Amino acid sequence: MYELIRPLLFQTDPERAHQSVIQVMRWVGKMPVFRKLLRAYFQSEHKPVHVFGLTFPNPVGLAAGYDKDGIGFRGLSVLGMGHIEIGTVTPLPQRGNPKPRIFRLPADQALINRMGFPGRGMAFVKDQMEGAGLDDLILGVNIGKNKDTPNQEAIRDYLALLRGFSDLADYIAINVSSPNTIGLRRLQAKEHLMALLEELAAERDQLVKSLNKPLPLLVKLAPDLSNQELDDALDAIIQAGVEGVIATNTTVGRMGLESPLAGETGGLSGKPLARQSTEMIQQIHRRTSGGLPIIGVGGIFSPADAVEKLEAGARLVQVYTGLIYQGPGLIKRIVDVC
């Protein structure tokens, strides 16, 4: 079915097409009959994964960036995934970078985006998440600073978001690795990351006591870190007591692309990122002796791609670009094999 729909979607501006899909899923989420039918069609075997102090129904999730404002997650939840990561959410609404800012590269089975965290802000997303009622589905929230917040004041934004979503999210993903907000990736440097994570972890510990629920923190890393930069980031993550990492975000590399749009600036995702993200998972797994749980992201287009990341050391995987190219049936195919 998706093979018939995809050509129509791909004739539409990428951002507009995506917004249309999100609106359809929002509608599905409000219609119990359609939710029930789709859930039955996409239902997968229950394959729980215990990690970060949480129990995920299965190892496959939806990466941040797909449902930035938490508009479509109720409808998306019927597609068989075990978790959904909403965001990236910023404290205040912002427009993001000028359009056009998403580009399809079909010849490379890839996307380039330079969105820049567009979104309606924390208050709006919190309203969407209230009373989620999604049984055992895990909901994560990916958080980032506003564009106009200088790095030296970034902790203010991250703390506000942590506090704001503490009672609604099952986990918080700290985004310091998007290439589309100027200067953000500098927060991955050891001294900056250590200061940020120590304060966030201390605040999280207080929130856990008052809420009487776990609230694991994860850090989403860039695939473009050098070996030394990765070691430094991992040292900061472990010393701060953060529960895990998401590997990886999009890349600024252009790894032999064929598309004429390859020169567009922004973060590259999809098939060309697969090997790079898997190699980073292997490095993290090896350097932490398997002690730091990993969510693997990047270039998952088939069950074999997901298995490769799990065998490299990931405990869970997330899809995004593969879902756009392969359709929602990809999730069930992966779960059935993993």
Strands 110-113, 102-105: parallel, antiparallel or unpaired by DSSP?
antiparallel
DSSP calls for 266-322: SEEEEGGGHHHHHHHHHHHHHHTTT-S-EEEES---SHHHHHHHHHHT-SEEEESHH
What gap in Å lies between CA 214 and CA 211, rounded to an integer? 8
Helix or strand or coil: residue 331?
helix
What gap in Å lies between CA 119 and CA 69, rounded to an integer? 6
Smallest Cα–Cα separation from 65: which of 275, 250, 224, 316? Answer: 250
Q: How far apart are the first and last CA of the chain?
A: 24
Q: What distance lies between CA 97 and its chain's CA centroid?
A: 19
Whether the CB-CB separation of 332 and 42 falls below 8 Å is answered with: yes
Token code pair at residue 4: 């018939």
Strands lying side by side in the sheet with 267-270? 102-105, 110-113, 267-270
Helix or strand or coil: residue 11?
coil
289 is catalytic: no
Strands 316-319, 138-143: parallel, antiparallel or unpaired by DSSP?
unpaired
Q: Tell me the residue length of the chain.
A: 338
Task: Name the amino acid, one letter, at 153.
Answer: E
What gap in Å lies between CA 2 and CA 259, rounded to an integer? 23
Whether the CB-CB separation of 295 and 245 falls below 8 Å is answered with: yes
Rg (CA), the chain: 18
Strand partners, 251: 268
Catalytic pick from 44, 77, 178, 259?
A: 178
What positions carry a catalytic annotation?
Answer: 178
